[in-house]
Amino acid sequence: MSDIPTPERHPDIPSRRRQELAALGGPWLEALTASAVAIVLTDALLPDDPILHVNPAFEALTGYPAAEALGRNCRFLQPEPAETEARARIREALATDAPVTADLLNRRRDGERFWNRISIATIRDGHGAPAFRLATQADVSSEYADDPAARELRASRRSLAEVQERLRVVQSVAGAAGAWEWDIASKRLVADARFASIYGLDAATAASGLPTAAFFAAVHEEDRMRLRIAVAGALHGAEVFARDYRVVVDGEIRWVAARGRTYLDAAERPLRFAGVLTDITDQRKVEERLHIAQTAGEVGSFEYVAGYGTAEVSEQFCRLLGLRPAQSLPVRTINALVHPEDPALIQNRDGRISSGTASHEFRITRADTGEERWLASRGEYRAGLAGGTIFTGVIYDITTTKRSEAALRLLTEKLEERVEERTQERDRLWNLSRDLLNVIGPDGRLRAVNPAWTRLLGHDEAELIGTSIEALTHPEDAATARSHLAHLLHGEAIAEFDIRMRTKGGDPRWVSWTVVPEGGAIYGIGRDVTQRKLLEDQLRQSQKMEAVGQLTGGIAHDFNNMLTGILGGIDMVRRRVSQGRLDDVDRFLEAAMQSGQRAAALTHRLLAFSRRQTLDSRPLDVAVLVRSIEDLLRRTLGEQIELVIDMGPDLWSAVADDNQLESAILNLAINSRDAMPDGGRLTIGGRNVHLSATDLAHSDRGEAGDYVEIRVADTGLGMPADVLAKAFDPFYTTKPQGQGTGLGLSMVYGFIQQSRGDVMIESREGSGTTIRLFLPRHHGAPDETPAKPRAAALPGTGETVLVIEDDPAVRLLVLQVLQELGYRAIETADERDAVPILQSARHLDLLISDVGLPGMSGRRLAEIARASRPGLPVLFMTGYAREAADQAQFLDAGMEIITKPFAVDELGQRVNRILRTKGMAGPSSE
């Protein structure tokens, strides 16, 4: 691990920003990421520019995998906390969002240091606000080389030579240089101890004189020839002698610099050749390294003394400009190659600047090829020894860097363009959209709306902004809107919902909303679906009409059959009675009764399907219930079908109407039987399950939670998909026309839905059908099911019963029954007759009332009765009453309900039981 000082981390950069960038960048970002240019992207919206993105080239350059870089500020690459000019410059630039290029000493993950040339650009969003920063990085260490060399690099060759010369002077003063004197006439060489030591000669012999051949003896073979030629020149009168060459002593190679003069006699003939010899091995090494560095790094050096027309230059300098190698070049020649718009290469001709460093970049047109290149110059001003300001500098080619910078700039511009474009696109979308677009603040009030709002709903923008969304919703949907809003404000995404919005004129418009909460606000898109809703309604209506037609037809057919049975039976009885033949009257009455009961069953099923039956839902034990009908089931199924009852252990108690549940199971069993003409197996299972909201997506009223599952599975024919799809359709039947009204499955469905449960059906042609009924769990023990008294009614003892019934036939029947049973019955048709009696002092033991009366409802009358006679027992009669569908809610203590049609016996038993219970409970009401 690296020992980077702990950087501030921002581990929680919202992925949204990254997505935003990805969305903005798109293919651009991919392309850039894939390129060999190291890239860093930072988030300008967060403090201290945390990294959002780095590309593989960056990872390769720094050795840090993206995961380690994300969220940090780039300065984690800096090995030292020390302030530098470059850092200050970056800080300044970032403060004003200006672009900046700087070289910083950085450290790779493995600890290695490198010079990092960073070019940072700020990317602005559509409003010109800084959004991201983009930087490229390049390793430019070669321009810095290692430190001593780097310093030398900045000096020109000439100044290096100067240093060496000075060094030589110092050396000779200090006795470090050797001296020789060559007498041309006598061909003798005299050298001092230092010379002798460099040449590996004996000091004493050298001092006393040697043959001149000694001058070449120790010289490296490769240099000897050229040295001889140079010496020949000197011996023949060339006055200036300067040569660097190698000497080999004991196998060790040393570089020496020999500088000499030829002294002439009066007749201009060469007399002696004398000079000094310095060991330059070390300098030479530096020089060589420098040379290699300069050549390899393609760095040219130059030196310019203010005011002069020429500059001293290195070979590489000339090469970079495409000029022929020279040691000195006119300033005009050099500067003429520089692009007219760019700063001159050689500056400070007037000598105004006397100290400090300088660097600049410029384009040149190469003198040889005419090619345009980018060069950078860096250097330092200093005072010359002989006065005047000397600029010592280097130049190097930065074309590649410039090109990637240009590419970067282009890309940045493109990105900005894209942002701009996208913003415009978005604006266009916002303005032109036919959909309602809006932003809702955390307070539930509209913050922004698009013009579609005004077009659709008529309110203008000023009216809308700041208005709560609820106030704009149709009153019937306000609660829905409020609950959605509450969820959204908690950050829960709601995919879609339809509510009615209110136009300025008050009309409702159906709007289908897609809403996303983000960053505290809610963004909504609403589509006007009024037209669609209307069509849907119409469609539903017409479907309903068609269904009603079908149903009416089916019911009429069945009813006519039943009525034929009833009317025919009664008619036959009447004839027999008039003829005095009473022997077979019972047969016809029995037939009439059966038809009547079938008619009653049919209406019951109709009500069940319409989920308007009167359900007596109470806690029950499903296992007990199934076992109680086991015998009945076996008889119904016949011998060919095996019945398996599989009740899980510790089954919860469920809430349902036990009678209805029995008949539902029976119905399903009969369906199964019919699906297994050749026999098979019917399994009725039970177990505890937990259903989620998604499981219950199709349920009308089911809520997530615990359920008791009743599974009815057969091994029968199964259903093809198209039949399965319509299995619960109320009027769909697989049975031939006239054989049934097709209410079987749909009745089950209606009952279960009304019981706040759910039904699921699975079936495949040829592999049976499984139907699962889910009933809500009852928390607590099941009630003790009261034993149903089946005994015949006992005769009454003269108790007074008030009957309120508007249907004279029913009233007649009820009165007849009561009187036959020995009760005193008071007959009323509605509240006009009944209320005075109820409010009088007359003794009453029981009130029997129809629920659906023309004026005041039976329930209301019961309340009036209870006001003066608390505890008066009430028995309601109802054929159908919406409000009585849930008995538990409808009835108070001491109230009961009996559904029409009822058998005479049934009524008698109920009245009997009520009055007996009352008798045990306490005195009758007065």
Partner 1 sequence: MSDHVVPLEEMERDALTELVNIGVSRAAASLRKMAGQQVLLSVPSLEVVTRGGAATLIRERESGDLVAVRQDFEGVFSGRALLIFPESNSMALVRAVAGSALSDAEAAEMEDEALTETGNVVLNSCLATMANMLQRPLTMSLPQVVRGNGVGLFELMQVSTEEGGVVLFLYINFAINDRDIRGYIAMLMDLPSLQALRLLITEFIRRVIGDEV
Ligand X SMILES: Cc1cc2nc3c(=O)[nH]c(=O)nc-3n(C[C@H](O)[C@H](O)[C@H](O)COP(=O)(O)O)c2cc1C
Per DSSP (E only), the strands in 337-416 are 356-365, 372-383, 389-397
Distance, in Å, from the CA atom of 235 to the CA atom of 183, rounded to the nearest integer, reads 10
Q: From ligand X, partner 1, none, which one binds at residue 268 (CB under 5 to 8 Å depending on kind)?
A: partner 1
- Extended beta strands in 286-401, E state: 299-305, 310-313, 328-330, 356-365, 372-383, 389-397
Q: Which is nearer to partner 1, 19 or 328 (CB)?
A: 328
Say whether residue 187 binds partner 1 (CB under 8 A).
Answer: yes
Taking the C-alpha atoms of residue 848 and residue 560, their distance in angstroms, rounded to an integer, is 31
Local structure of 254: helix, strand or coil? strand
Q: Which is nearer to ligand X, 122 or 278 (CB)?
A: 122
Report the 3 state secondary structure along 497-531.
EEEEEECCCCCEEEEEEEEEEECCEEEEEEEECHH
The 3-state DSSP class for residue 88 equals helix
CB of 530 vs ligand X, minimal distance in Å: 51
Which residue in the set 57, 69, 118, 196 belongs to the binding site for ligand X (CB under 6 A)? 118
Write the interaction track for ligand X spanning residues 137-156; mark x where CB under 6 A is met and - where it is not. x-------------------
CB 161, min distance to partner 1, A: 12
- Options 24, 135, 446, 469; binder of ligand X; rule CB under 6 A: 135
- The candidate with the shortest Cα–Cα distance to 472, out of 434, 446, 433, 443, is 446
Among 151, 228, 544, 574, binds partner 1 (CB under 8 A): 228
224-232, 632-640, 729-737, 821-829 -> range binding partner 1 (CB under 8 A):
224-232
Return all residues near 73 (Cβ < 8 A) that are at least 6 apart.
7, 8, 42, 48, 49, 50, 51
DSSP H or E stretch at residue 714: strand 705-714
* Least separation in angstroms between CB 88 and ligand X: 7
Taking residues 64 to 103 in sequence order and writing x for each that binds ligand X by CB under 6 A, - otherwise, the string is ---------xxx-xx--------x--xx--x---------
**Range in contact with partner 1 (rule: CB under 8 A) among 199-207, 330-338, 403-411, 422-430:** 330-338
Shortest distance (Å) from residue 356 CB to ligand X: 22
Strands 100-107 and 372-383, sheet pairing:
unpaired
Task: Pick between residue 72 and residue 618 the one whose CB is nearest to ligand X.
Answer: 72
Number of residues located near ligand X, criterion CB under 6 A: 20
What residue number has its CB nearest to ligand X? Answer: 74
Minimal distance, residue 375 CB to partner 1, in Å: 17
Considering beta carbons, is residue 104 or 234 the nearer one to ligand X? Answer: 104
- 595: which residues sit within 8 A by CB, 6+ positions away? 561, 562, 563, 564, 565, 566, 569
The reply to whether 226 sits near partner 1 by the rule CB under 8 A is: yes
The one segment of 327-335, 452-460, 633-641, 815-823 that binds partner 1 by CB under 8 A:
327-335
Q: Nearest Cα to 690, choosing from 702, 707, 703, 709?
A: 707
Q: How far is the CB of 10 from ligand X (least distance, A)?
A: 13
Question: Taking CB under 8 A as the rule, does residue 386 contact partner 1?
Answer: no
Q: DSSP 3-state helix, strand, coil percentages of the chain (rounded to 5)? A: 40, 30, 30
d(Cα 881, Cα 17) in Å, to the nearest integer? 60
576 part of the interface to ligand X, by CB under 6 A: no
In total, the chain counts a number of residues equal to: 926
The option from ligand X, partner 1, none interacting with 330 (CB < 5 to 8 A, set by class) reads partner 1
Contact set for partner 1, span 251-270 (CB under 8 A): 262, 264, 268
Query: CA separation (Å) from 791 to 142, 794, 897, 905, 906?
Result: 112, 9, 19, 9, 10
Specify the residue, 141 or 660, whose C-beta has the smaller distance to ligand X. 141
Q: Do you find a cis peptide bond into 270, omega within 30 degrees of 0?
A: no
Query: What whole-number distance in Å separates Cα of residue 820 and Cα of residue 801?
Result: 13
Torsion sign, CA atoms 874, 880, 882, 888: positive
Residue 271 CB, nearest approach to partner 1 (Å)? 13
Quick check: 136 binds ligand X (CB under 6 A)?
Answer: no
Cβ atoms 641, 674 nearer than 8 A: no
In the complex, minimum distance from the CB of residue 43 to ligand X, in angstroms, rounded to a whole number: 10
The one of partner 1, ligand X, none whose footprint includes residue 324, by CB under 5 to 8 A per kind, is partner 1
Q: Residues touching partner 1: how many (CB under 8 A)?
A: 34
119 belongs to the binding site for ligand X (CB under 6 A):
no
Q: Figure out which of the listed residues 53, 124, 133, 910 binds ligand X, where binding follows CB under 6 A.
A: 133
Q: Considering the complex, state which of residue 83 and residue 784 has its C-beta at the smaller distance from ligand X.
A: 83
- In sign, the C-alpha dihedral spanning 476, 478, 483, 484 is positive
Please give the Cα distance from 61 to 139 (Å, whole number): 8
DSSP per-residue codes, 228-253: HHHHHHHHTT--EEEEEEEEEETTEE
Binding stretches for ligand X (CB under 6 A):
40, 42, 49, 73-75, 77-78, 87, 90-91, 94, 104, 106, 116, 118, 120, 133, 135, 137
Binding stretches for partner 1 (CB under 8 A):
187, 212-213, 215-216, 225-226, 228-233, 235-240, 262, 264, 268, 309-310, 323-324, 326, 328-330, 332-333, 336, 367
